[in-house]
Amino acid sequence: MAEEVSVREAYGKTLVELGKENQDIVVLDADLSRSTMTQFFAGEFPERFFDCGIAEQNMVGIAAGLAASGKMPFASTFAVFAPGRCFDQIRMSIAQPGLNVKLVTTHGGISVGEDGTSHQSIEDLSLICSLPGFTVIVPADAIETAQAVKVAAASYGPVYIRLCRPKIPLVYNQGYRFILGKAVTMRQGKDATVIAIGLMVSVALEAAEDLKREGIDCRVLNMPTLKPVDEAAIIKAASETGAIVTAEEHLEHGGLGSIVARVLAKHQPVPMEFVAIKDTYAKSGKAAELLQRYGLTAKYIKQAVHAVIKRM
């Protein structure tokens, strides 16, 4: 098993690096800086850090005003509170004018664990991907997180980056370079393709390894940029392997699965299965228990691959 590393710490440390290089970077948080790890930036650059208290709508508006005045704000809270708590503010103050705000949220998905439903963000990707002009990134490990944050800082316009709470296995080595809008082939294969995001990428790789022992040669794609999605990579995987399974820590509705299905329906219809949270809220429990309960483990990916191959 690969080393497990915190994506949140990778974010926090990368922000400090960026803050040293670019005086226009400012950071906002909503009383969660110790969890989102913006505390590192706050410690290093207190004059450029604004804790907005437990007021996400206001935080988003302040970030927009800073961006409209030439600053590059990174605003952080839990994924359940942004976009959930402040969707209209993100829509009108950031997305419509296309302002240069980077929303980096943590504790996405159900792996937040024991805090339960109120803190489990299972709709955020659907909400944020619905906004014209937003770039949406879900990194698969700490190395990709650091890369994605740097790429976000090097681009102009609204970006949403979704991170999870637990430490997750590294799926890349230090030489990896994230390219915005490009899928990454994590493993070649010809019988079917699993397209995954976030912590489900390492789970998909684990499933593919098991499937190999069963004689199924499964391709694995990481799709770190959910929007704009790499349509060419999806079409290529569909045409070369003939079947697609998506895997995400999000509702089946509106996330990776929906996006991939839309691309396939338009360009290359093939059988498809969805590994995602069904139309329900999750409960309190340990992250591993919840991922098991709501169908987000290698076992379920394998089942989905078997099912999709049968439909070919």
Count residues contacting another protein (CB under 8 A)?
Answer: 31
Kindly tell me which of 95 and 263 has the beta carbon lying closer to another protein: 95
Q: In whole angstroms, how close is the CB of 253 to another protein at the nearest point?
A: 25
Query: Is 56 an active-site residue?
Result: yes
Q: In whole angstroms, how close is the CB of 154 to another protein at the nearest point?
A: 18
Task: Kindly identify the residues of this chain, within the stretch 157-186, that bind another protein according to CB under 8 A.
Answer: none
Q: In whole angstroms, how close is the CB of 14 to another protein at the nearest point?
A: 21
Pick the piece of the chain touching another protein (CB under 8 A) from 94-102, 150-158, 173-181, 268-276: 94-102
Q: Decide if residue 68 touches another protein (CB under 8 A).
A: yes
Three-class HEC string of the chain: CCCEEEHHHHHHHHHHHHHHHCCCEEEEECCCHHHHCCHHHHHHCHHHEEECCCCHHHHHHHHHHHHHCCCEEEEEEECCCCCCCCHHHHHHHHHCCCCCCEEEEECCECCCHHHCHHHCECCHHHHHHCCCCCEEECCCCHHHHHHHHHHHHHCCCCEEEECCCCEEECCCCCCCCCCCCCCEEEECCCCEEEEECCCHHHHHHHHHHHHHHCCCCEEEEECCEEECCCHHHHHHHHHHHCCEEEEEEEECCCCHHHHHHHHHHHHCCCCEEEEEECCCCCCCCCHHHHHHHCCCCHHHHHHHHHHHHHCC
Pick the piece of the chain touching another protein (CB under 8 A) from 54-62, 148-156, 166-174, 206-214: 54-62
Q: Decide if residue 92 touches another protein (CB under 8 A).
A: yes
Active-site residue among 3, 4, 17, 56? 56
Pick the piece of the chain touching another protein (CB under 8 A) from 50-58, 137-145, 279-287, 294-302: 50-58
Which residue in 35, 39, 58, 130 binds another protein (CB under 8 A)? 58
Q: Which residues bind another protein (CB under 8 A)?
A: 26, 47-48, 50, 52-53, 55, 57-71, 73, 88-89, 91-93, 96-98
Catalytic sites, residue numbers: 56
